[in-house]
């Protein structure tokens, strides 16, 4: 599992929740590192925060969906956001 977030508190909350379940996870704090690590590690799931300092979560999702490797462009992604507006949900689902 790949966690993409530049907020250490959020990463800690997510990893604390995953640790008892025995999941293997990696965390990065910027968009370019997320794409590089996803290419190298081929995670089974990617959790992406909506706002990451170097890129928007949507940009990261779009970049991975554009990958020629079917394993990468089909990997399940969860976009983490605190917004609840309908247009936010629509934008989040648009990259697939």
pTM, two decimals, is 0.80
Which of 88, 19, 20, 10 shows the shortest CA–CA distance to 28? 10
- Look up residue 27 and give its two tokens: 């965390």
Q: For the chain, give the number of residues.
A: 96
CATH number at residue 22: 3.40.50.2300
In angstroms, rounded to a whole number, what is the distance separating the alpha carbons of residues 63 and 77? 12
Element (H, E) at 59: helix 57-65
pLDDT in tens, the chain (96 residues): 999 998 899 899 989 988 888 888 999 988 889 999 999 999 999 999 887 766 688 888 889 989 999 888 889 998 887 655 555 555 555 555
Q: How many domains does the structure of the chain reveal?
A: 1
In angstroms, rounded to a whole number, what is the distance separating the alpha carbons of residues 18 and 88? 26
What are the beta bridge partners of residue 49?
A: 80
pLDDT at 88: 54
Range of the domain at 44: 2-93
- Look up residue 41 and give its two tokens: 């590690």
């Amino acid at each position: 599992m790949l966690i993409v977030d530049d907020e250490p508190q959020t990463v800690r909350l997510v990893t604390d929740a995953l640790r008892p379940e025995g999941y293997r996870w990696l965390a990065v704090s910027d968009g370019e590192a997320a794409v590089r690590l996803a290419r190298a590690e081929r995670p089974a799931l990617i959790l992406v925060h909506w706002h990451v300092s170097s890129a928007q979560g949507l940009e990261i999702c779009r970049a991975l969906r554009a990958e020629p490797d079917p394993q990468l462009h089909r990997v399940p992604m969860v976009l983490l956001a605190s917004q609840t507006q309908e247009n936010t949900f629509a934008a989040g689902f648009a990259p697939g």
